[in-house]
Amino acid sequence: MILAILTDIEGTTTSVSFVFDCLFPYARARLAAFVRENGHDPAVREQLDAVARESGRSLSDDEAVAQLIQWIDEDRKITPLKALQGMIWEAGYLKGDFTGHVYPDAVKYLRQWKAQGLALYVYSSGSVKAQQLLFGHSDAGDMRPLFSGWFDTQAGPKREAASYRLIASQIGLPPGDILFLSDIKEELDAARAAGMQTIWLVRGAIPDPEATHRQVTSFDEIRI
């Protein structure tokens, strides 16, 4: 019996393209101006200091920006870079420069499952803060009240069963009562190894005939 649903974001509730073609280019394009305009803010200064520490030398703000751009282009996941990207996205959401993409079928069924009494949770490699910004400023408005909890890689890597065991214990349910939704097979394998039920979102992809996880092309095909 399914009592809770744990969902991935990118590729599951949200198009991968929103993240890669909207969020990341937006932060890259705004980085220099953001640092120029907000460098006096202690929270921003703290991250610029962390950039200097990571690169092992003192940096002017322009040099720090150049270093950050280089990390972006190298696809490095450096903490101060992630923190500054988060601040730039927050400003963008608040200004209404974009809204968080959520597939209409995901909006419809997340609302329906919540109304049926299921507890909904998010598990994404994006930070909890980034998750809440996306769902708080989504295409369908503020979806945050639908969710009972949020998990990021503080709970552990998404491809390791231990992460799903920890999340189940934090949710307070046996893993078998939790359904995990993802577009990545290795994540589903890890969730199943922890005892969770699984469904594989294969949006726009060709279903894998060898797959042992149930495959659906949208939330419309999921029956609880």
Residues that bind Mg ion (CB under 5 A): 8, 10-11, 183
* Cβ neighbours for 27, distance < 8 A, ≥ 6 positions apart: 72, 84, 85, 88, 89
CB of 192 to Mg ion, least distance (A): 16
* Alpha-carbon separation of residue 130 from 14, 28, 38, 83, 116 (angstroms): 13, 16, 20, 10, 27
CB of 203 to Mg ion, least distance (A): 10
Tokens 């910004």, residue located: 133
CB of 194 to Mg ion, least distance (A): 17
CB of 14 to Mg ion, least distance (A): 8
Using the minimum distance from each CB to Mg ion, give the nearer residue, 114 or 203. 203
Using the minimum distance from each CB to Mg ion, give the nearer residue, 16 or 118. 16
Using the minimum distance from each CB to Mg ion, give the nearer residue, 44 or 107. 107
Buried b (16+ CB within 10 A) or exposed e, 59-79: beeeebbebbeebbeeeeebe
Residue of minimal Cβ distance to Mg ion: 11
Q: How far apart are CA 209 and CA 168, in angstroms?
A: 29
Using the minimum distance from each CB to Mg ion, give the nearer residue, 50 or 161. 161
